[in-house]
Each structure stands twice: as C-alpha cells, then as structure tokens.
C-alpha cells in the first residue's frame, strides 16, 4: 500500500469518528474535490492543511506514514511511567492513583446503570435551560457516561445537527461524598467539561446538585460555570419517556418547580 493510500485511509477513519466528510472538509476549509483526492490517495495535503488536520483530530504527522490502528495500539501499550503514553500524564498528575468509579465503589442506589436526567442553565442563551439525558454504564471495569446535546431551539427539521456531532462521552470519578465526571464532545478541541454533584440533596430531594464547568471560549454569553442537577431515574418505560419529553432548551417556566431554587443558586 502506498503512503498516499495509508494517509487517505487514516483520514477517512478519523472523519467517521467526528461527523461527516463534508463537515470535516468545511471545518478545515477544504473543498470536496480536494478532500476526495486526499481520501482516495491521489494527493497529499500541503503543510498548512496538514497542520489543520493534525490540530483538528489531535494527532501527529505520523498519520501520513503509518496506519492509524498501529499508532493507536502503540499508544495503548506505552508503559505507565512514560508521560508520552495515553495513561502516563494521568498517572503522573494523580500520583498513580485510579480515581475512576468501578464495580466495587459505585453507588447503585444513587446512580444505577441506565438513563438519567441532567438540567442546567444554558451556556448559549442567557435565560434558557439545557435539559438532556445521559446513560451511565460499565465499560471495561469502569463507570462511563454517554449523551447527546439536544437540538437547539429555532432549528428546522432539515437543519438538525447530526447525532455524531452532538455526542459527548465521559468517565465517572470517585471523590469524597460526591459524584464527578469528566467528559468531552466527539468533535476534537471543542468542549471539555467537568460536572460535580454533591450528595447532600439526595436524602431530602431525591436528586444531586452542584456545578458544571466547561472549558471552552466559544460561549456567547461568557458563562463557564453554572449550577447543575443530576436527577436519577427509575428505569421503567413510563418514567424514561416522561423525562425524554422534557429534553431540549427550555425556559424556567418549563423546568419542574422543584429544581428552581438549585438552578438559581448564588455564588457562581
């Protein structure tokens, strides 16, 4: 296989993970003809475009020469003490401790596997509220989460953003008397967030509340920290459907009243 074909296959695989080829081409500022030539192994990108590709997918220029699967396998098998490896920086930063939530320390009473509701003020609209559903489940011995941003209000059916672009995934972290998770959106370099929920409201209110922090400079109204609520749900069809109907960007009057006090808490 030629070097051109290796890079074309690598780029095609990376595009599948973040959205459609058309969306990636548009983000990179490349027309479809040029993009197709690169994907088909007919040409190489110029240095400026290559840098944009590497930045967009958070990869190095080695994708020009080596199959993506081999590069990722090499990352996975880096020794834990090597800070260049996938787990190396985390081992260094957290003194080698594992803060992930696993089968032994997960609190099934508060956050059982399944779908649950999250509510917070919107980072996009000053008086709006974001309501979405997330799924918690076990993967490779650790508790993880997956969800999708709701469709923005005012969008027509034909304009709906593809699900791949709206997807986010995260890892639950173990902390004292609280639940936290670190998550990222599917599109690289877009949004990284941390949600932290104290358990003090659980016995009296039946939900968790605290803060959501996003590390992004793209918020139109300048917010980066807002109150946030995690509402664990009974895993029956009726409850899940009722919660799903709430999802979207809502006004405060559309948010159940029991959450109002916590969503308007001061001190942000």
How much is the pLDDT for 100?
Answer: 79
Rounded CA-CA distance 163/124 in Å is 19
Classify 187 as helix, strand or coil: coil
Q: What are the structure tokens assigned to 110, written together?
A: 């508060």
For Cα atoms 88, 89, 92, give the angle at the middle one, nearest 5 degrees: 85
Per-residue pLDDT reduced to its tens digit, 155-211:
554 455 667 678 889 998 877 778 888 888 877 666 788 898 888 888 888 899 999
The domain segmentation of the chain, as residue ranges, is 3-66, 114-263
pLDDT band at 257 (very low <50, low <70, confident <90, very high): very high
Helix and strand totals (H; E) in the chain: 10, 9
Per-residue pLDDT reduced to its tens digit, 101-139:
776 666 777 778 899 999 999 887 888 899 999 999 988
Q: Name the fold adopted by 114-263.
A: Lipocalin (2.40.128)
Per-residue pLDDT reduced to its tens digit, 30-59:
998 999 999 998 888 888 898 889 888 878
Q: What is the CATH code for 3-66?
A: 1.10.260.40
pLDDT band at 215 (very low <50, low <70, confident <90, very high): confident
């Amino acid at each position: 296989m030629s070097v051109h074909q290796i890079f074309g296959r690598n780029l095609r695989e990376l595009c599948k993970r973040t959205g459609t080829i058309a969306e990636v081409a548009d983000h990179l500022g490349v027309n479809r003809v040029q993009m197709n030539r690169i994907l088909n192994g007919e040409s190489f990108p110029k240095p400026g475009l290559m840098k944009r590709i590497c930045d967009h997918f958070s990869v190095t220029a080695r994708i020009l020469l080596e199959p993506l699967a081999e590069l990722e396998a090499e990352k996975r098998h880096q020794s834990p003490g090597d800070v260049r490896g996938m787990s190396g920086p985390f081992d260094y930063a957290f003194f080698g401790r594992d803060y992930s939530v696993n089968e032994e320390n997960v609190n099934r009473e508060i956050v059982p596997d399944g779908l649950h509701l999250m509510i917070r003020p919107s980072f996009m609209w000053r008086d709006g509220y974001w309501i979405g559903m997330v799924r918690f489940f076990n993967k490779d011995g650790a508790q993880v989460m997956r969800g999708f941003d709701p469709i923005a209000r005012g969008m027509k059916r034909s304009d709906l953003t593809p699900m791949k672009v709206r997807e986010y995934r995260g890892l639950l972290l173990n902390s004292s008397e609280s639940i936290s998770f670190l998550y990222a959106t599917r599109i690289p370099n877009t949004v990284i967030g941390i949600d932290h929920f104290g358990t003090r409201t659980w016995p009296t209110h039946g939900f968790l509340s605290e803060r959501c922090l996003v590390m992004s400079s793209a918020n139109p109204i300048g917010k980066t920290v807002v109150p946030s609520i995690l509402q664990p749900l009974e895993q029956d069809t009726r409850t899940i459907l009722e919660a799903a109907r709430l999802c979207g960007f809502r006004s405060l009057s559309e948010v159940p009243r029991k959450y109002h006090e916590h969503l308007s808490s001061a001190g942000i």
